[in-house]
Amino acid sequence: MFSQKYPAIHFWLQNYGSVELGEDDKTHSLIRIMDEDGILYEDRASATFDESVDEAEAFLKDYFFENFEIKI
């Protein structure tokens, strides 16, 4: 289940913002984490979608801890 494998992304989606998946005309990232101000994070280095989602999960875990002292 997605929420078990990616708890930080799940928590983000339930409480803070959205996640966009896939490339588009404006960006070549595979995943973008969005809040009300725009793009908070986008992965441009990963070669695969799985790597990109894993990197986003790691980013959010660090983000929650550094900004809210929430450990996921």
- Tell me the HSE value of 24 on the side-chain side, using a 13 A CA sphere: 6
29-66: pLDDT as tens digits: 999 999 999 999 999 889 899 999 999 999 999 999 99
Q: DSSP letters of 28-55? A: --SEEEEETTEEEEE--S-SSHHHHHHH
Q: Supply the angle between the helices 7-15 and 49-68 in degrees, to the nearest 10.
A: 60
The mean pLDDT value for 3-32 works out to 93
pTM: 0.92
Please, which pLDDT band fits residue 19 given cuts at 50, 70 and 90? very high
Domain ranges (residues) in the chain: 2-68
